[in-house]
Amino acid sequence: VLTVLTVNSGIAVGVVTALQFAPVLALSAWAGLLADRLPRRRLLMATQGAMGVLALGLGALVPSGRVELWHVYVFAGLLGVVTAFDNPVRQTFVAEMVPADKLSNAVGLNSASFNAARLVGPGVAGLLIAAVGSGWLFILNGVTFGATILALMYMRTRELHVLPSAPREKGQIREGIRYVRKRTDIIVIMVVVGVVSTFGLNFQLTSAMMAKVEFGKGPGEYGILGSILA
CA distance 60 to 182: 49
d(CA 111, CA 94): 11
**pLDDT per residue over 190-215, tens digit each?**
899 888 877 766 776 777 777 777 77
Query: pTM here?
Result: 0.83
CB 178 within 8 A of CB 98: no
* CA-to-CA dists, residue 147 to 22, 48, 49, 72, 154, angstroms: 28, 10, 10, 25, 11
Give the integer Cα–Cα distance in Å for 60 and 80.
20
- What domains can be seen in the chain, in order of their start residue? 10-168+200-229 (1.20.1250.20)
1-50 pLDDT per residue, tens: 544 555 567 788 888 888 998 898 889 888 888 888 888 999 999 999 99
98, amino acid identity: V
Residue among 67, 52, 216 nearest 134 (CA): 67
51-105 residue pLDDT tens:
999 999 998 988 888 888 899 999 999 999 999 999 989 888 888 888 888 888 8
Distance, in Å, from the CA atom of 93 to the CA atom of 164, rounded to the nearest integer, reads 12
Q: What pLDDT digit, counting tens, does each position of 100-151 carry? A: 888 888 888 888 888 888 788 888 888 888 888 888 889 999 999 999 999 9
- Residue 201 has a pLDDT of 65
